Every structure is written in structure tokens, then in C-alpha cells.
């Protein structure tokens, strides 16, 4: 038998042999655990949301339920914009791969009669879903076709089994009842862009349409509402398993999350007056603005040419967009607030008021017109070569004498004219809450360049609304309202109130004085000076010799001022047809009206772009709008009395 010592030695040797093998095994175990831990971290932490979504998607598909967008109404509650039922086509990439994807896209292109451009967009959106940094993007439906006709709905329903990754989602679409007349005011809808999705992923979803321009854009958050969500049980190919499986697999509280409709906008606009303005304006291009003189609320706003918001809110083709953008008359331009023009003789009220306030003239003092005004070796001609003779502020406005204003402008100076213009609201945005607005141009001694002439010559040109003076039609309405109401410069507004879908008031808007002029909205001029200006405007319309005498009304005594603004002559290099060349070379026609003359309620401004003489091409349209305003007022009073 082996000795005890030998046994001990043998066991010690075996232990020494086992020790390295045990250490190696432990190291292997540790490494395996480390790999397992890292993998679990990747699966559960880094990609947990993705795999969770994939596991859920094996039996659940989530579809959004579009919210009804808020309506837009006129001041009387007439609906200008509402929603109509329709269907949009969506595709969920995660349920449509490889060969099946190609088959589905081919069938969709056929069933929906898609253009090559639409097919390419569908493929690009599909690829974007798979390459997105958001790993869940491929589980989100994206828009394939917007607002399809009923016959295409029937075709897709008939082939539903072939299109497992395609969903027809009932979607309310905008119904613009007023057409192009209010296109620039209301705006339109279009699909959210990839850039907007990247910039604000929490605000938008793919395929969502949002407001563009006008009220639709400015009041997007109020109008939009909140989309709901419907969860349904599906198989691995995304096919619905039926309501029984919905009830079995999805908790009741998660099956349908109802959408919340957006709020309504009630405007200060009167649809009937808007229609009257549209019918009264006969020019190819221009603008009409009707505004309450005592509040600043807009009653009608027309910019022509315009666009059809119903067309723009669909998937307009590139060719159609190109035609709009290349149109010489620029139908997408809101001429009321996004274009400025020389105001011509409508600006003479500024020069006259500056002269009165500076003490260069009084309401009764006169200046003599001999057919022009001379400074140095340059002579500015009056529209009447033989001259008007001695004129005061009232008579100078009545006959629209240029020489009177040349002399007065030279006396009072450019900065005084500029200062009064700014006090009246020219030279800066009016503040209308409808989107971008240009400020126009009111020159002063600091802004002019010596190479363009002396300060005196600039003052003389500015005195009749020429030279570098440029204003918008909306600024004209604000300025004439201040003259009409006794000296308050209002911030124009077009939204009267916001209400819930049920009609309950959320917010009421009150008249807002313009605080940009540094006087809390007050013009801060002598009442007798404003009275002298208004007397001159009354004579323009109601007394023989007045430039708008032919546009007077029998039932309403209104006042106003004509204007004919010269335009820059086009060069011969312009590639335009002869008729367009002649049209674009004509002067702009203006008329600004206040009515009634003794206690003004409404201001109406008409700009007939390249229309010619203000007396012929603008005053008659303004008179028709004024007449319509008072006829509607009378009709409403009768209706109200009948109800009482």
C-alpha cells in the first residue's frame, strides 16, 4: 500500500494540475456573462423600444384618427370654411417588404392612377422610413394619396386582401366655400414637409396637412385640434383579425382614443360685403380693403388675382404650381399687405396735415398755382397747365392740385412729411395678425442718398406721393381711418373671437390702438386741422369740380381722395407680349373713401393696379362697396327688428 506521504504528494500534484484549468474555466464563464450582459443591454436598453414595438406589431397596428379642423366663419356666423368627409391612402412600411412591397406599389399605382411623380414620391417616402434614425418610423403609416375620389375608394376596398400594408383612413378635408375671393386671407393646407418633421417631430406626424399662409397658418394651433388613435389586432402581415380579436388582445381603454376637434374662428369679415367688393372691382390686378373706422376691424379684403384654396390644398402638380409662380401678375402675392406702391395724390392728406401742424399754412390761408412749381432750374408741372389759381387746403384737395402740394412740401420739408406719415401708420407694418407684412417706404433726410437729388427735391416729390414713397393698401386704410375717426390709429384685426366646436366663447378680441407711433395710438393733431382735411375730402366727392364727383351717391354722403400714381416705364429688354407691355406701363389708380362723411363708420380703399386714372378706375368701385355696406346695414336692421 502506498504510504500516507505518497498519497499526499499525489493529491498535491493533481491539485496543481487542476488549478490552471479551473482559472481558465472561470475566465470563460466571466466572459460569457459579460457578453450576455452587453447583449441584454443592447436588446433591452438601446433597442428596447424597437423590439417592443416589433413584438406588439405582431398582433397590434396603431392607426391615427384625424381631428376635425375648426371652422372659419364670418361676423354673422356664415360658414366660410368647414370640412368634408374624404379618404386618404396610407402605407405602413414594416408590413410591406421585398417582393410584396413591389407588388403593392405597382397595384397602388394602377388602382389610384398615380403619375410617375406620385409613384416616385411613394418610393422615396418608403425608403425614408427604413433609413430614419427613429427605428420606429417604419411602423408609422405615411401618406400615399390625398383625398381620393369615391370610385378609387371602391377599388381599394375590393382589393383589400392584396394590400395588407395599405390603409384607407377617413380624413376630414377643408372645404373652402368662398373660393378665390378670400384665398389670400384664409390661406390653404398642404402636407407637412420632411424638414418640418425633423425640426418639430413632437408637433407633426407624417402625412399630416397643416396651414399655409393666411389664417390657416397663423391660427394653426387653434384650428388643428388633437388627433386620436385606434389600435386594432392584426396578423404578421398587418391584416385586421376582426373586432373579436381586438377585444381579446387589446384593453378597452387602448382600442380607441377619440380625436379632439379644433376651435372655430369667427372673423370680422362680412361675406356679403366681400362678395360685393369682388363684384365691384373690375381690374386685372389690385386690392380692396374695407375697415371699420372706429375699431380697425376688417370687413372685406380682396387681392386680385388670387388662387383657389381648394386646389392648393390638394396635391397640386408641379406644372400647375409653375404656372402660378410664373404668372406675370403674381396671383400668390397678397397685394393688400405684401406689396407697396406709390400712393399718388391719396398721400396729399399727409402733406396738408404736416403743413397745418407745422404752422406753414392754416385752414383758410392760400397758395397760388400757376401751372407748376419751380426750384432752381427744374420745374414740376401741375396736372392743369394753366393753373388753379389761389387755393386753400380744402380746395386743393378737391381739385387735387399738384402745384399747391409742391409749394407746401418745399416749405414744410421732407422730415416733417415723413414724421406725419409715420404717425398715420405709414412706413411700418400695421400689425394685422395675418402673417408677413412689408413696411413700405417713407423717405427722410437720413435715408436719402445725395446722388438721388437734394432733400428739397425729395420733399417736393414726396408731397404728391411720388419719389421714393411707397405704401400698402392696408396702410392707406389705417391712415384714412385715423383721419375719419378724429385721430386714433388702429391696429387692424380680422379675427373677432375664438370659440369651441360647440360655439362657446374662448377669447374675444377688442379694438387695439397702434402703439408703434409712440402716442398710444393717438395721432395727436389739432381737431380743426383734421376737420379741414375732412372738408376737403368731402368736396372731392360731393361738389362740382371734385375729382370723384361722378362717383357720388344719392343716399349716402361719403368723402374720399383719388390718386393716380406713376409707374416706372418698362425697358425694351422685358420679354413681354405687346398687350402686357402696354398694361404694365399704365399708372396705378387709387381711391380712399370714408363714409358717411359726417360720422364715418367705414373706410374703403381701392387700388387698381395699372388701372389708369383714380377717378375712373378706382372711385366707382369704392362707391359700390360703400353703397353695399349701407344697404346691408339697413337690411340687417330690418331683420333684427322683425325678430324682436
Q: What range defines the domain where residue 212 resides?
A: 61-77+172-263
pLDDT, average across residues 284-310: 97
291 lies in the same domain as 436: yes
Output the pLDDT for position 298. 98
Has residue 622 got a pLDDT over 90?
yes
* Residue 536 shares a structural domain with residue 521: yes
Residue 610 in any domain: the answer is: yes
Supply the CATH number for residue 110's domain: 3.30.1390
* Domain contains 30: no
Residue 192 DSSP symbol? P
Partnered with residue 232 across adjacent β-strands are 61
**pLDDT class of 44 with cuts at 50, 70, 90:** low
Q: Choose the final residue of a domain: 138, 171, 204.
A: 171
| 446 and 567 co-located in one domain | yes
Indicate the residue among 263, 298, 325 that finishes a domain.
Answer: 263
* The pLDDT of residue 32: 65
* Average pLDDT rounded to a whole number, residues 430-457: 94
d(CA 386, CA 524): 38
Query: Residue 636 — very low, low, confident or very high, per pLDDT cuts 50/70/90?
Result: very high
Condensed to tens digits (0 to 9), the pLDDT of residues 317-334 reads: 788 889 999 999 999 999
Q: What mean pLDDT do residues 383-408 have?
A: 97
Is residue 527 within 8 Å of residue 485, measured between CB atoms? no
User: What number is the average pLDDT over the span 166-181?
Assistant: 93
User: Per-residue pLDDT tens for 457-495?
Assistant: 999 999 999 999 999 999 999 999 999 999 999 999 999
Average pLDDT, the chain: 89
Segment 536-572, tens digit of pLDDT: 999 999 999 999 999 999 999 999 999 999 886 555 4
Residue 28 has pLDDT above 80, yes or no: no
Judge if 218 and 281 occupy the same domain.
no
Long-range own/partner contacts, residues 72-75 (CB < 8 A, 24 or more apart): 72/186, 72/215, 72/223, 72/264, 72/265, 72/267, 73/264, 73/265, 73/266, 73/267, 74/266, 74/267, 74/269, 74/270, 74/271, 74/274, 75/266, 75/267, 75/268, 75/269, 75/270, 75/299, 75/496
For residues 531 and 569, membership in a common domain is answered with yes
Average pLDDT over residues 442-459: 94
User: Looking at the domain assignment, is residue 56 inside a domain?
Assistant: no
Q: What is the SS3 assignment for 570?
A: coil
Q: Is the pLDDT of residue 19 over 60?
A: no
Mean pLDDT of 379-385: 95
Domain endpoint, select from 171, 191, 226: 171
The answer on 250 and 194 residing in a single domain is yes
Looking at residue 8, what is its pLDDT? 46
Specify whether the CB–CB gap between 530 and 483 falls below 8 A: yes
| Number of separate domains in the chain | 3
- The partner residues of 508 in beta bridges, in order of sequence, read 497
List the one residue out of 246, 208, 210 whose CA is nearest residue 230.
Answer: 246
What pLDDT shows up at residue 3? 55
Residue 589 forms beta bridges with which residues?
564, 608
String of b and e for 256-271 (b: at least 16 CB within 10 Å)?
ebebebbbbbbbbbbb
Ranges 7-16, 189-198, 496-505: which has the least confidence: 7-16
Sign of CA dihedral 438, 444, 450, 454: positive
Examine residue 21 and state whether it is found in any structural domain, yes or no: no
pLDDT at 51: 46
Instruction: Label residue 37 by pLDDT band (50, 70, 90).
Output: low
Predicted local distance difference test score (pLDDT) of residue 564: 97
Same domain, 275 and 198: no
Calpha distance 388→628 (Å, rounded): 35
**Across 78-92, 126-140, 423-437, 494-508, least confident range:** 126-140
Answer whether residue 623 is part of any domain.
yes
Q: Which residue from 637, 623, 644 is spatially nearest to 281, judged by alpha carbons?
A: 623
CATH number at residue 227: 3.90.1310.10
pTM: 0.86
Residue scoring higher pLDDT (628 or 18): 628
Domain shared by 231 and 299, yes or no: no
* Residues 539 and 620 placed together within one structural domain of the fold: yes
The predicted model gives 214-228 an average pLDDT of: 95
Residue 298 lies in a domain: yes
pLDDT, residue 1, reads 44
**Interval 98-120 mean pLDDT:** 92
Angle at alpha carbon of residue 141, lines to 139 and 147, rounded to 5°: 175
Co-location of 364 and 437 in the same domain:
yes
User: Same structural domain for residues 144 and 224?
Assistant: no
pLDDT given at position 150: 92
What percent of the chain has pLDDT above 70? 89
Is the confidence at residue 456, as pLDDT, over 50?
yes
What 3-state DSSP class applies to 225? Answer: coil
Which grid cell is 308? 383657389
Q: Which residues pair with 593 in a beta bridge?
A: 560, 604
State yes or no: pLDDT of 16 exceeds 80: no
Whether 22 maps to a domain, the answer reads no
Stretch 171-179: mean pLDDT: 93
Residue 71 domain-assigned (yes or no): yes
In sequence order, the β-bridge partners of residue 300 are: 290
Do 199 and 284 sit in the same domain of this protein? no
Amino acid at each position: 500500500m502506498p504510504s500516507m506521504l505518497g498519497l499526499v504528494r499525489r493529491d498535491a500534484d493533481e491539485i496543481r494540475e487542476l488549478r490552471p484549468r479551473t482559472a481558465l474555466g472561470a475566465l470563460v464563464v466571466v466572459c460569457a456573462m459579460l457578453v450576455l450582459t452587453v447583449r441584454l443591454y443592447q436588446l433591452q436598453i438601446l433597442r428596447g423600444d424597437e423590439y417592443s414595438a416589433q413584438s406588439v406589431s405582431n398582433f397590434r397596428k396603431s392607426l391615427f384618427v384625424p381631428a376635425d379642423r375648426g371652422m372659419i366663419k364670418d361676423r354673422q356666423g356664415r360658414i366660410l370654411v368647414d370640412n368634408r368627409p374624404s379618404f386618404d391612402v396610407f402605407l405602413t412600411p414594416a408590413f410591406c417588404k421585398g417582393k410584396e412591397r413591389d407588388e403593392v406599389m405597382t397595384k397602388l399605382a394602377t388602382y389610384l392612377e398615380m403619375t410617375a411623380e406620385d409613384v416616385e414620391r411613394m418610393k422615396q417616402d418608403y425608403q425614408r422610413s427604413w433609413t430614419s434614425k427613429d427605428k420606429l418610423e417604419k411602423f408609422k403609416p405615411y401618406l400615399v394619396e390625398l383625398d381620393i375620389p369615391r370610385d378609387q375608394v371602391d377599388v381599394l376596398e375590393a382589393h383589400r386582401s392584396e394590400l395588407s400594408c395599405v390603409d384607407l383612413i377617413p380624413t376630414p378635408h377643408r372645404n373652402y366655400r368662398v373660393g378665390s375671393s378670400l384665398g389670400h386671407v384664409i390661406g390653404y393646407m398642404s402636407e407637412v414637409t420632411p424638414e418640418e418633421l425633423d425640426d418639430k417631430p413632437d408637433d407633426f406626424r407624417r402625412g399630416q396637412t397643416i396651414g399655409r399662409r393666411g389664417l390657416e397658418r397663423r391660427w394653426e394651433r387653434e384650428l388643428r385640434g388633437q388627433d386620436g388613435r385606434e389600435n386594432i389586432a392584426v396578423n404578421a402581415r398587418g391584416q385586421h383579425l376582426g373586432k373579436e380579436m381586438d377585444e381579446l388582445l387589446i384593453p378597452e381603454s387602448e382600442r380607441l382614443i377619440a380625436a379632439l376637434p379644433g376651435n372655430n374662428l369667427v372673423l370680422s369679415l362680412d361675406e356679403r360685403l366681400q362678395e360685393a367688393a369682388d363684384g365691384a372691382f373690375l381690374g386685372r390686378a389690385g386690392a380692396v380693403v374695407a375697415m371699420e373706422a372706429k375699431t380697425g376691424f376688417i370687413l372685406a379684403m380682396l387681392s386680385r388675382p388670387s388662387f383657389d384654396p381648394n386646389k392648393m390644398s390638394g396635391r397640386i402638380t408641379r406644372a400647375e404650381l409653375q404656372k402660378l409662380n410664373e404668372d406675370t401678375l403674381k396671383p400668390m402675392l397678397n397685394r393688400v399687405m405684401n406689396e407697396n406702391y406709390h400712393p399718388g395724390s391719396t398721400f396729399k392728406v399727409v402733406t396738408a396735415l404736416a403743413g397745418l401742424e407745422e404752422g406753414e399754412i392754416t385752414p383758410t390761408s392760400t397758395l397760388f398755382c400757376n401751372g407748376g412749381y419751380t426750384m432752381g432750374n427744374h420745374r414740376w408741372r401741375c396736372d392743369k397747365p394753366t393753373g388753379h389759381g389761389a387755393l386753400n387746403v380744402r380746395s386743393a384737395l378737391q381739385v387735387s392740385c399738384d402745384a399747391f402740394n409742391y409749394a407746401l412740401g418745399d416749405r414744410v420739408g421732407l422730415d416733417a412729411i415723413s414724421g406725419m406719415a409715420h404717425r398715420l401708420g405709414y412706413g411700418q407694418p400695421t400689425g394685422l395678425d395675418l402673417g408677413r407684412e412689408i413696411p413700405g417706404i417713407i423717405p427722410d433726410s437720413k435715408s436719402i442718398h445725395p446722388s438721388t437729388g437734394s432733400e428739397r427735391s425729395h420733399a417736393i416729390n414726396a408731397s404728391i406721393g411720388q419719389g421714393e414713397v411707397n405704401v400698402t393698401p392696408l396702410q392707406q386704410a389705417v391712415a384714412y381711418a385715423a383721419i375719419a375717426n378724429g385721430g386714433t390709429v388702429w391696429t387692424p384685426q380680422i379675427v373677432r373671437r375664438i370659440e369651441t366646436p360647440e360655439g362657446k366663447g374662448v377669447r374675444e378680441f377688442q379694438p387695439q390702438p397702434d402703439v408703434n407711433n409712440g402716442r398710444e395710438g393717438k395721432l395727436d393733431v389739432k381737431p380743426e386741422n383734421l376737420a379741414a382735411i375732412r372738408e376737403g375730402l368731402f368736396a372731392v366727392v360731393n361738389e362740382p369740380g371734385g375729382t370723384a364727383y361722378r362717383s357720388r351717391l344719392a343716399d349716402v354722403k361719403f368723402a374720399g381722395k383719388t390718386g393716380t400714381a406713376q409707374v416706372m416705364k418698362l425697358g425694351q429688354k422685358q420679354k413681354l407680349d405687346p398687350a402686357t407691355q402696354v398694361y404694365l406701363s399704365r399708372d396705378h389708380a387709387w381711391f380712399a373713401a370714408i363714409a358717411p362723411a359726417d360720422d364715418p363708420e367705414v373706410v374703403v380703399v381701392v387700388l387698381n393696379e395699372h388701372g389708369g386714372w383714380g377717378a375712373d378706375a378706382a372711385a366707382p368701385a369704392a362707391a359700390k362697396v360703400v353703397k353695399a355696406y349701407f344697404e346691408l346695414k339697413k337690411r340687417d336692421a330690418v331683420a333684427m327688428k322683425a325678430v324682436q
